[in-house]
Structure 1
């Protein structure tokens, strides 16, 4: 693969040997949560998923069965049948908290270091390679976030922004690395909701990155992206420490 023909190519980097079924489940859930596959979209066939993930068809079948049990996908029969994303897909807040507890502060800091390196270099290359249409696509992600009414929508818009910047870098490996980092821990950036003022400030940070990319300023684009990544991880680590201290974080529902 020499390029990403669409955002739907991004989740399909090959899976290591251990825990293959669970990893297929996790990646498909995160691809749906990112909006790469939307509600009511048909997923690729079992054979196509197996080929792209580098796993056996039976592994994909087991993963889809687990997703059906969890209510994330449904199977439709007939000539136009297959596996489809359910209309009411959402990752519940309780599930996010359960996942969040699995990660130590050390894990999160390590993630933050890698995220800074990936996002910083992707932004630098994006500034060198972006077309006018690329800039508009990045701006579109920001406009979606500005109009989002809940934390879930804001989280998806933020994830799409960063994946989009990586795609504009025209580096398959950087895009796949960004996707992998987003699928592992990106959702936790929004586990603790921002108030209106903080969200507005966050959106303005995204706009400064977009502006730097549009001007072709690679050094500034990289510096701004790295700084945003560091600020994000400070927020996530603070939420994790409070979760450890109080066994909860602010907010009780997915969109609060």
Structure 2
């Protein structure tokens, strides 16, 4: 493998192992480090280089296979191969990719701050029930309704921060991001991971742990950012 491969297929560093693994693999594919029709390194080597478990790697490869970026071939010369004609983002999304980093930066600042302030407030019973209900709805959402329920949970966090202006700003940046999110597939593994992170976030808010809530939200947002950069970058 060359230096470019070493740079892209480097160890995953955060708690979003699945999402970052998808991002690294997509970068390697989109930048031609592994050209169309070529085979990816063996699972054992890839898992070692990315510093992830074989289970996480297989889940990431399965997601890319479902999305049309790679295909699995059996037999003596089998393995995971980059598709000769990988899918591309929809034109409406492609035209807005330049907004991605700006939107991600704004979202990180706004939503991490909202989580911190929400956890620092003396919440009413109504606010606690509202947040818990939105978490439950998101956790039980179908694929078709997940993004809407996910948006509602994030808005609920902003709402209980106590700042209408902050809530409006979070809603605005969420609208921008949803247009970009519509251009990437819904990955069940990512949804399950997101729901676990949601639970940690809500728990930190309800027990009144501002630093913990800020960390939980930041880590959660990093996972979504990794997928967006991978699929749209």
Offset at residue 172 of structure 1 (A): 1.4
Alignment partners' CA distance in 2, 1:191 and 1:160: 20
What does 1:69-84 align with in structure 2 at a 5 Å threshold?
none
Change (3 A) 1:172 1:207: same
Runs (4+) off by over 4 Å: none
Q: Figure out how many residues of one structure are paired with residues of the other and give that number.
A: 144
Give the number of the structure whose alpha-carbon radius of gyration is greater: 2
**How high is the TM-score relative to the length of structure 1?**
0.52
SS of 2:111's equivalent in the other structure is helix
Alignment partners' CA distance in 2, 1:164 and 1:179: 10
Offset at residue 200 of structure 1 (A): 1.4
| Corresponding residue of 2:194 | 202
* Structure 1 unmatched ranges of 5 or more: 1-95, 242-256
Offset at residue 165 of structure 1 (A): 0.5
Alignment partners' CA distance in 2, 1:120 and 1:137: 19
User: Could you tell me whether the CA contact under 8 Å between 1:189 and 1:233 is conserved in 2?
Assistant: no
User: Could you tell me whether the CA contact under 8 Å between 2:138 and 2:153 is conserved in 1?
Assistant: no
* Structure 2 unmatched ranges of 5 or more: 1-88
User: Could you tell me whether the CA contact under 8 Å between 2:103 and 2:176 is conserved in 1?
Assistant: no
| Corresponding residue of 2:132 | 139
Alignment partners' CA distance in 2, 1:143 and 1:97: 32
| Corresponding residue of 2:147 | 155
What does 1:167-246 align with in structure 2 at a 5 Å threshold?
167-189=159-181, 191-241=183-233
RMSD: 1.9
SS of 1:122's equivalent in the other structure is helix
Change (3 A) 1:237 1:161: same
**How high is the TM-score relative to the length of structure 2?**
0.57
Deviations 1:52-77 (A, max 9, x none): xxxxxxxxxxxxxxxxxxxxxxxxxx
Alignment partners' CA distance in 1, 2:131 and 2:214: 15
Change (3 A) 1:111 1:195: closer
Change (3 A) 1:144 1:190: farther
User: Could you tell me whether the CA contact under 8 Å between 1:124 and 1:221 is conserved in 2?
Assistant: yes
Alignment partners' CA distance in 1, 2:209 and 2:120: 8
What does 1:111-130 align with in structure 2 at a 5 Å threshold?
111-129=103-121, 130=123
Deviations 1:195-242 (A, max 9, x none): 43332111010010000000100111011112211221111111113x
